[in-house]
Amino acid sequence: MLSRGSIIALLLVLSAVYSATVVIDAGGETSKHFTPSKATINIGDTVEFINLQNHNVVQVAGPESQLLVDGGITSGETSSVSKFSYTFANATQPEYHFACASHLACCDMRTTINVKNEIKQVAVVRVPRNEWFSYPNDLVYVGAMLFGYIFLSISTL
């Protein structure tokens, strides 16, 4: 049977597995396009913009807008920074539009991030203190572990 520490470690690993990172490539010094131009993520996922040499990331009001969102998400001024990450922990809208401020007018350097309003949940297992076996909670836990072991054994045949 798993110890309390093992269960806590398993839950921490599961929570890390449930978030993802989507990479948007700015192409470095010679490119003037974000790739991909659209991406879909879930709440809690991270978007990482890479190869930002001579570029920056600013949130704009819409897919064709040149208006910067006041107080919006931004990587700051254009510099030699090579990457910028943002985690969408609390998305307040279904779409976020980004552009490079330096190349917005001339090159239409934009990307759109669609955020699904689905919060991924991780099951929490209650382990009683000062008890070796607590009926029915531990019985259900042991049954679920046994079922998982049998299922994995059969599926690998």
Mean of the per-residue pLDDT values of the chain: 77
Instruction: Give percent of the chain above pLDDT 90.
Output: 39
Q: Give, in degrees to the nearest 5, the angle at Cα 17 between 120 and 28.
A: 105
pLDDT digits (tens, 9 = 90+) for 55-109: 999 999 999 999 999 999 999 888 666 899 999 998 889 999 999 998 888 888 9
How many CA atoms are closer than 13 Å to the CA of 67, on its beta-carbon side?
A: 5
Give pLDDT, residue 99.
94
Q: Which amino acid is at 53?
A: Q
Instruction: Check residues 110 and 145 and name the one with the higher pLDDT.
Output: 110
Give pLDDT, residue 39.
96
Instruction: Check residues 144 and 102 and name the one with the higher pLDDT.
Output: 102
pTM higher than the cut 0.75? no
Cα 44 to Cα 15, 39, 71, 98, 132: the distances in Å are 10, 14, 20, 18, 36
Give pLDDT, residue 68.
94
Which numeric CATH code is attached to 19-116? 2.60.40.420
Place of tokens 């330096």: 102
Place 121 in a pLDDT band, splitting at 50, 70 and 90. low
Q: Which of 120, 50, 114, 59 is nearest to 85 (CA)?
A: 50
| CA–CA distance, 45 with 61 (Å, rounded to integer) | 21
Question: Is 120's pLDDT higher than 70?
Answer: no
Secondary structure (DSSP) of 60-87: ESSSS--PBPTT--B--SSSS--EEEEE
